[in-house]
């Protein structure tokens, strides 16, 4: 009997030491970016944007090509940490790329692009996208870089992921800005380091610039992180506009909008999972315009496989543009979440 107890205690000791070592390694290797990082821009274009011309832009959270219609996710009250096989991820990524190719886009801002991640079978999705947008200028900013995420079972494992902006026009400069108010230790060592990128494009015969901001706001928190992030993003967009620049903020807000009819997209579930809170109606001066469409939902809950009319859906993706930009058209492309848990949003705009 004593030998059994010794064996059990030895196992417990090994488990505790292993856990402590894992936390130590993850703490030492924790991704700790500076507040502002100058990004390398791959400029494949010399042409610059002009006034009084229609341009198209699309925002799409591609869910690392692993959250398609038949998937669920453990952080949304589901069970899985990744698709069953690599082929599913490859099919999703091909579907996403083919969807982009249906439009002659001037700009594309994309979130949740994996480059070296177990959850997406280590496919370099940035490389695949860059090969597709081969004539576009682009940048990339990491917002997730963890050696090993130990949850759930089987665990997520290694994750390296980020956001990217693709442009058919010359990008003058690119910066990664770290969002204020990320998670505290020990949660932070396994979570995203939320950020946004600021891409500056010169305008023909103008000193002012087109400033395109690609943002991916926090999701799984009590609202305090999003409040800090909204405050920060408001400061930067209003400062840029005060300089005379043209500003487009787009991406995955992970929040809904005060003008959305909640009766169309009810939050009917109860539980400890993602719930999109509304951005306050007085968040910004009403001379700014929201490029948000209500023709279709932009996200779905990942508690189970998608079931239209049953799965919780809503609108959390889109754009916000400065008063010197005219929105000509905005539409959510209703792909029924075939390739990812988000539908893309496309906007036509003009620099006045």
Confidence (pLDDT) at 7: 58
Least confident of 81-85, 184-188, 222-226, 243-247: 184-188
State the alpha helices, DSSP H only, in 29-138.
Answer: 86-100, 125-132
CATH 3.40.50.620 fits 33-351, yes or no: no
How far is the C-alpha of 48 from the C-alpha of 195, rounded, in Å?
26
pLDDT tens by residue, 8-19: 665 666 656 655
**DSSP letters of 203-228?**
BTT-SSEEEEEEEE---SSSSHHHHH
Give me the mean pLDDT over the 44-66 stretch: 96
Is residue 182 scored above 70 in pLDDT?
Answer: no
For the CA atoms of the chain, what is the radius of gyration?
Answer: 21
Residue 317: predicted pLDDT: 98
pTM (whole model) above 0.75: yes
Please enumerate, as own/partner, the contacts of 129-135 that have beta carbons within 8 Å and a separation of 24 or more: 129/97, 129/164, 129/166, 130/42, 132/97, 132/100, 132/101, 133/100, 133/108, 133/166, 134/44, 135/44, 135/45, 135/168
Q: Which of the residue ranges 120-134, 195-209, 256-270 would you say has the lowest mean pLDDT?
A: 256-270
Strand partners, 251: 215, 318
Per-domain boundaries in the chain:
1-30, 33-351
Instruction: Tell me the C-alpha distance between 67 and 123, whole Å.
Output: 15
Sign of the four-CA dihedral 291, 224, 149, 154: negative
């Amino acid at each position: 009997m004593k030998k059994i107890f010794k064996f059990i205690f030895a196992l417990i000791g090994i488990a505790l030491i292993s856990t402590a070592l894992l936390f130590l390694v993850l703490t030492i290797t924790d991704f700790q970016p500076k507040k502002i990082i100058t990004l390398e821009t791959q400029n494949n274009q010399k042409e610059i944007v002009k006034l009084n011309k229609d341009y198209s832009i699309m925002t799409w959270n591609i869910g690392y090509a692993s959250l398609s219609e038949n998937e669920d996710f453990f952080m949304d009250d589901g069970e899985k940490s990744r698709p069953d096989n690599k082929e599913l991820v490859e099919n999703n990524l091909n579907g996403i790329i083919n969807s982009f190719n249906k439009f002659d886009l001037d700009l594309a801002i994309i979130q949740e692009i994996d480059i070296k991640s177990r959850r997406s079978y280590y496919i370099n999705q940035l490389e695949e996208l860059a090969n597709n947008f081969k004539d576009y200028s682009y940048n990339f900013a990491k917002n997730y870089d963890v050696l090993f995420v130990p949850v759930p079972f089987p665990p997520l494992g290694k994750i390296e992921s980020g956001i990217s902006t693709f442009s058919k026009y010359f990008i003058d400069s690119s910066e990664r800005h770290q969002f204020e108010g990320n998670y505290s230790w020990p949660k932070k060592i396994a979570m995203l380091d939320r950020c946004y990128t600021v891409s500056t494009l010169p305008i023909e015969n103008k000193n002012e610039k087109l400033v395109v901001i690609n943002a991916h706001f926090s999701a799984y928190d009590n609202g305090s992180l999003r409040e800090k992030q909204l405050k920060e993003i408001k400061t930067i967009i209003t400062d840029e506009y005060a300089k005379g620049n043209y500003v487009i903020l787009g991406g995955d807000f992970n929040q809904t909008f005060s003008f959305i009819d909640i009766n169309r997209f009810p939050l009917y579930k109860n539980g400890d999972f993602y719930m999109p809170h509304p951005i306050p109606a007085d968040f910004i001066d009403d001379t700014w315009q929201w490029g948000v469409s209500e023709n279709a939902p932009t996200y779905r809950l990942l508690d189970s496989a998608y079931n239209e009319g049953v799965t919780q859906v809503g609108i959390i993706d889109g754009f916000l543009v400065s008063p010197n930009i005219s929105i000509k058209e905005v539409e959510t492309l209703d792909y029924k979440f075939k390739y990812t848990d988000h539908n893309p949003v496309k906007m036509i705009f003009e620099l006045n």
